[in-house]
Structure 1
Amino acid sequence: MTMDQEHLRSVLDTVFARQDMEDACKRRDLGGVIRILNKYGVTQGQIANLTGRSQGRISEYKSGKRVPTAKHTFEEFAGGLGMPGTLRRHLGLSSSGGKGGAQVVSDGVQIPTDTFDLQLFAEAIGKRGEPLKRRELLAMVAQLGTQSALAQSEAWEKVAFALSKPSAIDEAVVREMEARAAGFHRLEEMLPAHTIFKGLAAHLNEVGTILNGTATDPKDELRKRLIVVAGESSVLAGWIATDLGNISAARNLYDTAEKASKEAGDAAIIACAFGYRSYIPSGKGNHGRARALLASALQHLPQDTSPGTTSWLAARHAEESAALGETEAALRSWDEAREAFNIADPEEDRVWTRFLDQDRFDSFHISTYAQIGRLDEAEAVARAVIARLPDVERKRAGIILGDIATAHIVHGSVTEAVRAAREGLAVIRETESGIWLPRFLVLGEALRRWQTQPAVRVFLEELAVTKRQFSASPR
């Protein structure tokens, strides 16, 4: 019997309120959405009529033969089916379905994704010099919309002036570029990689254009500061390229950062590049190579120049040593990390250290202690950190949960491992943090020996869907 429109709307509203529907949207799993709708009586033909897609294509989505990734496809589904704002946000869409080019960050907070607006927004965040609260983030986004056109005109005038007067780079331009670099480092914690990459690339292009128009002069402090900006921005771009799965571009960007580091005489940039690079082999399980990169990073870093960087690199060295089963080395490195963290002020340190607040430092504590067998202590810290994480820093929860899942596998607790792994994988999908997916693929291989257990089987299915989504995505 055909369902009338009023009844159909009632069924859709009921299904959209279900937890399994919310979970499917968090995974951006349209096949799962279709299967749930079918389960409650909404046919593929009805879905096709509402979304404007052919019934054959709906069938392909349902079976997993085709995995949609384009934003317009999700928009057509969400709009056609009349999804509420909560589910739209889980799918990475604006709450209202408008065309304004905004990316949802947390409940009701949208960030502009237009290339210039991102540059302007990054600059505004960098000038603040302190972390943002949700209310302040909302106010800045609202203010941005009224200032964008005027600011764009002014920015191009300043860049044009710098290019026409290469012998005297304007102080204001240098300060804006410095603020923008710092702002992009903050935005990386809040937004998916693909959302900010174009804005960051445009920023790097502007910096490079200005530098190419100036004469090399070791005594020119403004030019040296711009080279540092180029290095700091390149290491971040390399990190984001890694997240997007473009390892070749990442290596080129890290090489650019190292060149900038040498020209500016700023060895800390090379140390940062090695630190970021260490995540590539680590994600593949090559902890020896990762630790070697971190050891090189610590050797390059001048003593006492950046306690925040020392703390981060030593903490990474600790967790890689723990992954290699070298408990004593892990604890030595952890003591070095803790000592540096106690005197560090990441907000007054390098732009890349500003992520290293107490929560992030605790995540290294969790990873290290979980892998050396102090699991109760690690999990207690983990739950405390996750409970206090704001929505804009959800990426960290995925990392932490992956560490906890790994530790549970090592210590033979499959049930707890699967629970943490599923939670972490949901966060990876939600935040589109592809750089952490290899860690969960390793988890999947470790759990495969227990695949007869229902919970493990569900995790492996979710992992397969996530892998297809990331591999097919134009991120």
Structure 2
Amino acid sequence: MATARAADASVAKLFATQVDGVRQLDRRFGAAQLLPGLQSQVDHMESLLHFSAAPGARTALAAALTEAATLAGWQAVDLGNYVQSWKLHETAKSAAREAGSPALLAHATAQQAYVLLDLGRVQEAVQQVEHARAEAGGWLPPLMDTWLHAAQAEAHAAADEGAACRAALDRADAARPRDPADPALPFLFLAGPHLDRWRGNCLATLGADEALQDLTAALDAMDGFNRAEAGVRCDLAVVLQRRGELEEARRQAGLAQELALVTHSERQRRRIENILQTG
């Protein structure tokens, strides 16, 4: 308790700054080298929160812990560590409730659905994202509203529910604010090219050739987002392979493979291997 007493709002801000630095490194280099340190930080923050007695400090620390655990949970998904990811998202959800933040809770709950998607439990993933919105209640920041609609679209695409997917994509586009940056939500990147990337991924999953337009438009804006670029090139390879453009599909898969090696992305590695084996 003596140690936790020192964890005031200024310390929570320092933790949040550290998490943002990890987030920026993660975009370029992936999770393999970053997750162990971030997991330790999550454990430290959780311990401080458990023993903190100051309400104001608890709220700020809980919000910082939510961001840290949600990021670490995403990294664990990307590395294929599903049990670790699920537990981290549970930590994030609990901290978001402590922080009293519907937006942070919705983000952690919906992102947890990616564990279910990767495990092939698609309908449960759809329900999880729907639950995230329902649990948030009424108004959400426009950027979070956009993100939730896009996540719902991806879950519907995985379930081969084309009409529901396209409707969710339309809602995401309609909800997107003019300014795609929200200082309160530094973990959301939904500038035009990134929403195009997401739309392209969903349409590629549905087998729609129109995905090419969105994916090609997004590709030029992926500078510094190495894992995201690997995903775009994977999706391009899938669409091109289906169109019979096998040489270009293999080229895109090869470029994605190089980026996946940089980011150590197990999710992308599995997709690329499948493309190269079938192409």
Contact map agreement 2:12 2:61 (CA 8 A) in 1: yes
Contact map agreement 1:283 1:436 (CA 8 A) in 2: no
Contact map agreement 1:295 1:317 (CA 8 A) in 2: yes
Which residue, out of 197, 205, 214, partners 1:381? 214
Are 1:352 and 2:184 an aligned pair?
no
- Equivalences for residues 221-370 of structure 1 within 5 A: 221-343=56-178, 345-353=180-188, 355-370=189-204
SS at match of 1:304: coil
How far apart in 2 are the matches of 1:177 and 1:370?
Answer: 38
- Equivalences for residues 149-164 of structure 1 within 5 A: 163=2
Q: Which residue of 2 aligns with 1:432?
A: 264
Residue 444 of structure 1: how far off its partner (Å): 5.3
1:362 counterpart letter in structure 2: D
Which residue, out of 32, 36, 40, partners 1:198? 36
How far apart in 2 are the matches of 1:293 and 1:302?
Answer: 15
Contact map agreement 2:215 2:235 (CA 8 A) in 1: no
How far apart in 1 are the matches of 2:86 and 2:207?
Answer: 35
Runs of at least 5 residues in structure 2 that lack an aligned partner in the other structure: none
Which residue, out of 420, 423, 440, partners 2:255? 423
Highest CA radius of gyration, 1 or 2? 1
**In angstroms, what is the RMSD of aligned CA positions?**
2.8
SS at match of 2:150: helix
Contact map agreement 1:231 1:269 (CA 8 A) in 2: yes
1:394 counterpart letter in structure 2: N
How far apart in 1 are the matches of 2:122 and 2:13?
Answer: 39
Query: Is the deviation greater in 277-286 or in 332-341?
Result: 277-286
Deviation digits for residues 386-421 of structure 1, max 9, x if unmatched? Answer: 23332x212111111222223344555545443433
How far apart in 1 are the matches of 2:8 and 2:190?
Answer: 32
Q: Which residue of 1 aligns with 2:27?
A: 189
Deviation digits for residues 157-183 of structure 1, max 9, x if unmatched? Answer: xxxxx94572x7534222212222333
Residue 371 of structure 1: how far off its partner (Å): 4.1
Contact map agreement 1:405 1:421 (CA 8 A) in 2: yes
- Equivalences for residues 44-193 of structure 1 within 5 A: 163=2, 166=5, 169-193=7-31
TM-score normalised over the length of structure 1:
0.53
Residue 285 of structure 1: how far off its partner (Å): 4.9
Runs of at least 5 residues in structure 1 that lack an aligned partner in the other structure: 1-161, 448-455, 457-475
Q: Which residue of 2 aligns with 1:401?
A: 233
Residue 193 of structure 1: how far off its partner (Å): 0.6
Deviation digits for residues 410-439 of structure 1, max 9, x if unmatched? Answer: 555545443433332232123222232333
Deviation digits for residues 3-30 of structure 1, max 9, x if unmatched? Answer: xxxxxxxxxxxxxxxxxxxxxxxxxxxx
Deviation digits for residues 237-269 of structure 1, max 9, x if unmatched? Answer: 111122233222112111111221222322333
Residues 247 and 371 from structure 1, CA distance in 2 versus in 1: closer, same or farther, beyond 3 angstroms?
closer
Residue 275 of structure 1: how far off its partner (Å): 2.6
How far apart in 1 are the matches of 2:57 and 2:23?
Answer: 21
Higher normalized contact order (CA 8 Å, seq sep 6+, divided by chain length) = 2
SS at match of 2:177: helix
Residues 164 and 289 from structure 1, CA distance in 2 versus in 1: closer, same or farther, beyond 3 angstroms?
closer
Residues 173 and 357 from structure 1, CA distance in 2 versus in 1: closer, same or farther, beyond 3 angstroms?
same
Residue 233 of structure 1: how far off its partner (Å): 0.8
- Equivalences for residues 208-227 of structure 1 within 5 A: 208-215=46-53, 220-227=55-62
2:157 counterpart letter in structure 1: A
How far apart in 1 are the matches of 2:119 and 2:8?
Answer: 45
Residues 210 and 425 from structure 1, CA distance in 2 versus in 1: closer, same or farther, beyond 3 angstroms?
same
1:406 counterpart letter in structure 2: V
Identity of aligned residues (%): 24
Contact map agreement 1:204 1:234 (CA 8 A) in 2: yes
How far apart in 2 are the matches of 1:394 and 1:235?
Answer: 20
Residues 283 and 413 from structure 1, CA distance in 2 versus in 1: closer, same or farther, beyond 3 angstroms?
farther
- Equivalences for residues 459-474 of structure 1 within 5 A: none
Residues 358 and 364 from structure 1, CA distance in 2 versus in 1: closer, same or farther, beyond 3 angstroms?
same
How far apart in 2 are the matches of 1:276 and 1:437?
Answer: 20
2:100 counterpart letter in structure 1: G
